[in-house]
Amino acid sequence: MRMPTHLTGILLAALGALGSDIACAEPPESRQAELMHLLTQDCGSCHGLKRRGGLGPALTQEALKGKPAVMLREVILHGLPGTAMPPWNNFMSTQEADWMVQMLLEGRTDAP
Amino acid sequence: MRPDSRLMVFLSLAGALLVSACATPRGTGDLGIVIERAAGSVQVVETTTRTRLAQVSGLGDLSHASVVYSRDARYAYVFGRDGGLTKVDMQRRRIDKRIVQAGNAVGGAISQDGGLIAVSNYDPGGVKVFTADTLELVADIPAGSGDSARRSKIVGLVDAPDRRFVFSLFDAGEIWIADMRNPHQPRVQKFSDVGKLPYDGTVTPDGRYYIAGLFGEDGLALLDLWQPDKGVRRVLDGYGRGQEPLPVFKMPHMDYWAQSGGLAYVPAVGRHEVLMIDQKNWTESARIAVAGQPVFVIARPDGRQVWVNFAPPHNDTVQVIDTLSLSVVRTLKPGKAVLHMEFTPRGENVWLSVRDENRVDVYDTETLERVTSLLADKPSGIFFTARAQRIGQ
Bridging pattern class, strands B41-46 and B198-203: unpaired
Q: Does residue A82 belong to any structural domain of this protein?
A: yes
Q: Does A109 touch chain B (CB under 8 A)?
A: no
Q: How far apart are CA B353 and CA B307, in angstroms?
A: 13
Distances (CA, A) of B213 to B17, B268, B271, B281, B282: 55, 9, 14, 18, 14
Q: What is the number of CB-based contacts under 8 A between chain A and chain B? A: 80
Measured in angstroms, the CA of B64 and the nearest CA of chain A are apart by 7
Q: Does A91 touch chain B (CB under 8 A)?
A: yes
CATH number at residue A89: 1.10.760.10
Q: Do B251 and A4 touch (CB under 8 A)?
A: no
Chain A residues in contact with B251 (beta carbon < 8 A)? 45-46, 55, 84
Q: Does residue A23 belong to any structural domain of this protein?
A: no
Bridging pattern class, strands B116-123 and B104-110: antiparallel
Q: Is the peptide bond before B313 cis (omega within 30 degrees of 0)?
A: yes
End-to-end, the C-alpha distance of chain B in Å comes to 60
> In what side-by-side order are the strands of the sheet with B370-375?
B338-343, B349-354, B359-364, B370-375
Which domain does A49 fall in, by range?
Answer: 7-17+29-105
What is the rounded (10 degree) CA torsion for A94, A100, A103, A104? -110
Cα four-point dihedral sign B323, B328, B333, B335: positive
Contact B209, B175 (CB under 8 A): no
Closest alpha carbon to B250 in B290, B200, B193, B196:
B200
Measured in angstroms, the CA of A66 and the nearest CA of chain B are apart by 22
Q: How many domains, chain A?
A: 1
> Strand, helix or coil at A41?
helix
Contact B230, B286 (CB under 8 A): no
Q: What is the pLDDT along chain B (393 residues), one digit of tens a residue?
A: 455 555 555 555 454 444 444 557 899 999 999 999 889 999 999 999 999 999 999 999 888 899 999 999 999 999 998 899 999 999 999 999 999 998 888 899 999 999 999 999 998 899 999 999 999 999 999 998 655 667 899 999 999 999 999 999 999 999 999 999 999 999 999 999 999 999 999 999 999 999 999 999 999 999 999 999 999 999 999 898 888 899 999 999 998 999 999 999 999 999 999 999 999 999 999 999 999 999 999 999 999 999 999 999 999 999 999 999 999 999 999 999 999 999 999 999 999 999 999 999 999 999 999 999 999 999 999 999 999 999 999
Q: How far apart are CA B241 and CA B284, in angstroms?
A: 12
Contact B297, B274 (CB under 8 A): yes
Q: Do A53 and B122 touch (CB under 8 A)?
A: yes
The CATH number that domain B103-248 falls under is 2.130.10.10
Delimit the domains of chain B by residue range.
103-248
Question: Minimal Cα distance from B200: which residue of A?
Answer: A55
**Residue of A3, A44, A54 with shortest CB distance to B216:** A3
